[in-house]
Amino acid sequence: MGLDERAQAQFEIFNAMYFGGAMPDVDIRLVKDLRSDGGKRCRLYGATSKVGDQFFIELDSNMPDSQHKLTLMHEMVHVKLWPKSHRSREWKREVQRLAEAGFLLEVF
């Protein structure tokens, strides 16, 4: 399985496990250079953007394996809360919800 297929499969798993299957369709791409305009460029290895009704998650194709799940989940939170920022009350609440749902066990 390629990295992009793996990311898409992981997206579906996280969607079912942590978002009740309510995520919109997201076009997930592995890229060498993350988009830096018109979206959220994160401290991790990903970026989320929206064009019309379509969401895009870009993942750095060079990121270490250990960061895949964490980065993908981070970008999924951007999709859910779009266009709220990392510093919003909603973001903090969502991170807390994911922690309580056991997400940290995925990455620790």
Part in contact with Zn ion (CB under 5 A); list of ranges 4-12, 32-40, 62-70, 96-104: 32-40
C-alpha distances out from residue 22 to 10, 25, 44, 52, 66, Å: 15, 9, 24, 19, 26
Helix (H, G, I), strand (E, B) or coil at 93: helix
State in angstroms the smallest separation of the CB of 108 from Zn ion.
20
- Of the pair 1, 62, the CB lying nearest Zn ion is at 62
Compute CA 24 distance to the chain's CA centroid, rounded to the nearest angstrom: 12
- Of the pair 23, 42, the CB lying nearest Zn ion is at 42
State in angstroms the smallest separation of the CB of 40 from Zn ion.
5
C-alpha distances out from residue 53 to 7, 24, 49, 82, Å: 21, 9, 10, 11
State in angstroms the smallest separation of the CB of 85 from Zn ion.
8
State in angstroms the smallest separation of the CB of 84 from Zn ion.
10
- Of the pair 2, 64, the CB lying nearest Zn ion is at 64
Contacts of 78 (CB under 8 A, 6+ apart): 40, 42, 48, 57
42 contributes a contact to Zn ion by CB under 5 A: yes
34 contributes a contact to Zn ion by CB under 5 A: no
Question: Where on the chain is the footprint of Zn ion (CB under 5 A)?
Answer: 40, 42
